[in-house]
């Protein structure tokens, strides 16, 4: 950890990390977050929810730099609630345990929220494709060009909010796609993507893993639609795909893969929503969790 002569009177932000059976990924994340941090610069809370592995033990190896809370229920919603109840500082960063973001990236997100009209911020994505199948790469080649994906806060594994932003989202109904709900709670002028902050995201390695992840996302989206609907500009249409192909002809051959995955995952999501199943978390066990 890099030392700094400047004393830090209080943390610059609280970092809330829900973690379920992420003993490998949590070490990777905490190492990056703390690598350049000054003492007590970040208030980091890891909420181990329903873990059956050594996630909590690994997080405790970081000593006083990390507060570990064990929640018996395997629920991300409950983990976030518990984390918010213990966190003492704003801005607040919500970070998925299976991504990687560094100290300087967290600082950049905090600085972005210094602008009064900006209530929420997220980093730019850096997709990790090593060991990923050609089908998964084809899907994400198209996905990354979708307008709502480029400008939305979702799908990044990290969202930072100011105190005013927190007040905006604290009353949101609990939904599976929590990052999408948060993103859509802010007008475009109230949220920003911070280009000098980066988050590493590990993609599913197999087509099966991708479909499981997309079924989960589509189930969460359907849940949001059932509550209040979503703006049409935030939905993928044939027109938006045609526009992408005109701008990026090289990805035209990948579009059928994208459409096929979208159709299969939507069918899977409809089966789950028909049963009212908004709780089962389809875990992608194919992803690369190497440190």
CB 268, CB 190: distance < 8 Å: no
Measure the CA–CA gap between 204 and 228, rounded to whole angstroms. 30
CB 66, CB 46: distance < 8 Å: yes
Ranges of residues in the chain whose predicted pLDDT is under 70: 1-9, 173-177, 224-234, 277-291
The residues facing 198 across adjacent strands are 124
CB count, 10 Å around CB of 192?
21
pLDDT of the residue at 200 = 98
Contact residues for 289 (Cβ-Cβ < 8 A; gap 6+)? 22, 24, 25, 28, 98, 202
What b-and-e string marks burial along 13-40, b requiring 16 or more CB atoms within 10 Å of the CB?
A: bbbbbbbbbbbbbbbbbbebbbebbbee
CB 214, CB 172: distance < 8 Å: no
pLDDT of the residue at 171 = 78
Per DSSP, the three-state class of 110 is: helix
The torsion region of residue 239 among left (phi > 0), alpha (psi -120 to 50) and beta comes to: alpha
What b-and-e string marks burial along 50-61, b requiring 16 or more CB atoms within 10 Å of the CB?
A: bbeebbbebbee
Rounded to 10 degrees, the C-alpha dihedral 130/258/234/95 comes to -20
> Beta 42-49 vs 13-19: how paired, if at all?
parallel
CB burial of residue 116 (10 Å; 0-12, 13-18, 19+):
exposed
pLDDT of the residue at 180 = 81
- What six digits make up the tokens of 238? 């044939």
ω into 129 cis (within 30 of 0): no
Nearest one of 34, 174, 154, 157 to 104, comparing CA atoms: 34
* pTM listed for this prediction: 0.88
Contact residues for 153 (Cβ-Cβ < 8 A; gap 6+)? 120, 121, 122, 159, 179, 182, 183, 186, 191, 193
CB 69, CB 85: distance < 8 Å: no
């Amino acid at each position: 950890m890099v030392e700094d002569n400047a004393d830090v009177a209080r943390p610059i932000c609280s970092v809330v990390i829900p973690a379920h059976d992420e003993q490998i990924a949590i070490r990777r994340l905490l190492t990056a977050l703390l690598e350049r941090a000054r003492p007590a610069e970040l208030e980091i809370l890891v909420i181990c929810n329903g873990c059956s592995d050594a996630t909590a033990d690994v997080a405790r190896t970081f000593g006083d730099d990390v507060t570990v809370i064990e929640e018996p229920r395997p629920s991300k919603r409950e983990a976030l609630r518990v984390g918010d109840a213990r966190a003492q500082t704003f801005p607040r960063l919500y970070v998925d345990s299976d991504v990687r973001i560094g100290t300087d990236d967290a600082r950049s997100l905090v600085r972005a929220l210094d602008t009064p009209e900006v209530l929420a911020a997220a980093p730019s994505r850096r997709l990790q494709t090593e060991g990923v199948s050609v089908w998964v790469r084809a899907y994400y080649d198209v996905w990354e060009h979708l307008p709502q994906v480029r400008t939305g806060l979702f799908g990044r594994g990290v969202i930072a909010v100011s105190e005013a932003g927190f007040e905006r989202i604290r009353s949101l109904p609990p939904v599976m796609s929590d990052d999408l709900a948060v993103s859509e709670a802010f007008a475009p002028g109230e949220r920003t993507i911070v280009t000098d902050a980066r988050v590493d995201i590990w993609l599913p390695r197999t087509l099966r893993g991708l479909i499981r992840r997309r079924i989960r996302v589509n189930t969460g989206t359907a849940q949001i639609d059932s509550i209040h609907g979503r703006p049409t500009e935030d939905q993928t249409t044939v027109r938006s795909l045609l526009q992408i192909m005109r701008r990026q002809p090289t990805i035209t051959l990948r579009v059928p893969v994208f459409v096929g995955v979208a159709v299969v995952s939507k069918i899977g999501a409809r089966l789950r929503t028909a049963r009212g199943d908004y709780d089962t978390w389809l875990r992608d066990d194919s992803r690369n969790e190497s440190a």
